Structure 1
């Protein structure tokens, strides 16, 4: 658990997109006695957030000025950004207000990192610090090691090594976080569609061949936003798609519903392993730790 005395003072805000992420942040913060004022993105966030948030305001994706006004109104000085905003919506469905339109026009690159990074700078200029999105969820970041009962076999390990090399380059270009490999051939790269859709596309292309999924953080991952996430839906998609192994970056990938996720992977016969960001399969960073607490953390829910 994130220690309460390490949480900086001041009112907290949550900028909420879709999925489980905002719910988990709210629950974890509340367990530490912290209530958050929520700015929920109308096109993305779940209506159920209203039932658990003490204070919640809805804004549309393009309403940057309105979001800032509400954060100031709530007295927020620190904020967490949690939950996906579909990349396809960011540049196709968004109707920007004047402030956001001006910001988009000023960007040298029209990619997600550039846009959200620019929004983070605007927040800081307004006196609102955007903090690491995993601040309240550190137990969901796995240490290096095998997470499931079964470790990747020789075939899967070879595909993981090949996939991690490709994925690091792709992520470094801010194109996507996921690659899908079969027999050391790249079957699919993630673009704007997301991880699960990438796996489904790979399954169609591979026509029944076993697949390995590799998901990585960017080489210079900004932990304030777009942190890699794996949830139950991804494991179920892998099961349907004959994907037999998943490799992720340790300490930089959130495992939502971690205990249930690992149980589901075990039931499906899927091997999951977390690698130190620069490690390769079989490298020292992935050997079992001599510290028994490390081993228990790797398996803990």
Structure 2
């Protein structure tokens, strides 16, 4: 059995590669020069059932050609391609240029959905990126030793409404909340950058509104932040699935964030054991919420 792996950045492609190999698949990796970690070459060097082809972002015709040559009829996307790369660094070939010209809107869902259709028309089925990684999906309920306190639960409730509204417009999937006020909304910069921006803003507020005599912050917003990350209302699990990794927890610690809410069953938690250990050590609460929350 052969699987095509369209590999973006981060650890996601490696996790999926290992899971697919464990299930007996030979894997043909389409590595994106601007995104994929070169370590993928070392992984392939030790396994004759892994083949790596390097492509530039925008070479859709070349991707189809590679998969046809390798007799790939089923493929999966794993790993992010930075949104700003898609809309600034991309140099489309004729096939992708034609696709872009026919898009009603140039958001990532529309673009990747169109790419999936082109692949399907060429006999290459794009499957869910969680197919081999279902054990990594967030469970419903509190996943850490500490539960969210009442303020954090109110932040989650408020943040879910905002995040789902923003995600519905395909702007971003994460909001940062303090005292039931939205401090930051994720856009093209990504989740971690949005959290960092919120932390910097809170530090600025403290400096500008602090009590000069006591030295204590006088901001009406509490210092601690709650992160709320959701899937899109009509999330296509074939691509752009919400992901949380240890780097997000480290970013939260630096920003002063104390609580993380994710959607159960629709968010991947990478390196889960280490992630939870680090969160517990930092006193961070992580909760998975169901669709009916």
Please state how far the C-alpha of 1:130 moved relative to its aligned partner: 0.2
Structure 2 residue 18 is matched with structure 1 residue 27 = yes
- Matched residue count: 270
Alignment equivalent of 1:155, drawn from 151, 158, 161: 151
C-alpha separation between the residues in 2 aligned to 1:231 and 1:170?
Answer: 22
Unaligned ranges ≥5, structure 2: 45-49, 207-222
Separation (CA, whole Å) in 2 of partners of 1:35 and 1:204: 46
Residue in structure 2 matched with residue 40 of structure 1 by the alignment = 31
CA RMSD of aligned residues (A): 0.8
Corresponding residue number in structure 1 for 2:230: 216
In the alignment, which residue of structure 2 is the partner of 1:50? 41
**Residues 8-157 of structure 1 mapped to structure 2, 5 A cutoff:** 10-53=1-44, 54-157=50-153
Q: How far 1:277 sits from its partner (Å)?
A: 2.1
* Aligned residue number for residue 209 of structure 2: none
Q: CA shift at 1:256, angstroms?
A: 0.4
Q: Take 1:137 and 1:157, find their aligned partners in 2: how far apart are those partners?
A: 29
Specify the alignment match of 2:202 in structure 1.
206
- Distance in 2, matches of 1:262 and 1:177, equals 22
TM-score for both structures, normalised by structure 2? 0.91
What's the secondary structure of 1:26's corresponding residue? helix
Structure 1-normalised TM-score?
0.89
Please state whether the residue corresponding to 1:76 is helix, strand or coil.
Answer: coil
Q: After superposition, give the CA deviation of every residue in 1:91-123 in whole Å (9 maximum; x if it has no partner).
A: 111010111011001000011111001000000
Counterpart Cα distance in 1 of 2:292 and 2:240: 19
| Mapped partners of 1:51, 1:64: distance in 2 | 25
Which one of 268, 280, 292 corresponds to residue 282 of structure 2?
268
Alpha-carbon distance between aligned partners in 2 of 1:42 and 1:58, rounded to the nearest angstrom: 6
Residue 278 of structure 1 and its aligned partner are, at CA, apart by: 2.6
1:240 aligns with 2:231: no
Summarize deviations over 1:176-224 as a string: whole Å, max 9, x none. Answer: 0100000000000000000000000011112261100000000110000
Q: Partner of 1:180: helix, strand, or coil?
A: strand
CA distance in 1, matches of 2:42, 2:22: 16
SS at the partner of 2:175?
strand
Stretches of 4+ aligned residues off by more than 3 angstroms: none
The DSSP-based 3-state class of the residue aligned with 2:73 is strand
Partner SS, residue 40 of structure 1: strand
For residues 15 and 211 of structure 1, what CA distance do their matches in structure 2 show? 35
Check whether the contact 2:138–2:262 (CA below 8 A) recurs between aligned residues: no
CA distance in 2, matches of 1:39, 1:277: 34
* Cα distance in structure 2, aligned partners of 1:278 and 1:176: 21
Distance 1:214 1:235 in 2: 13
